[in-house]
Structure 1
């Protein structure tokens, strides 16, 4: 299986809100995870500074974070 992750560890990204009520927002990539199967997209372990726990999300739920003002 080839490593096809678009994002890198330490990168700050925008997490899309989910359809099950989880909030979106800016998260940091903590770890790169393989896709569960070859026909699925790569996954990431991410952490928001506003939450105490980490999440596992699919690559399609992430996008480049908007530049912060200041």
Structure 2
């Protein structure tokens, strides 16, 4: 039986994003959680936005920490 993963960060939370060395370059820093997305295997995903960028990013929960 597969269990559903629970998101750790609610929408509106301020989180600290650490970019992965493997994925495309991204600015490490403080972001706001805009939306919770379906999990990607064993890691929840989020749509996050920085006040210094005009666009949103997708981040895995393992890349985020409470700010």
TM-score relative to the length of structure 1 = 0.80
The answer for unaligned runs of 5 or more in structure 1 is 66-70
TM-score (norm 2): 0.83
Q: How many residues align?
A: 63
Match of 2:30 in 1: 26
Q: CA RMSD in A?
A: 1.4
With CA pairs under 8 Å and 6+ residues apart, which has the higher RCO, 1 or 2? 2
* Off by >4 Å, runs of 4+ in structure 1: none
Provide the C-alpha distance between the structure 1 equivalents of 2:58 and 2:25, rounded to a whole number of angstroms. 15
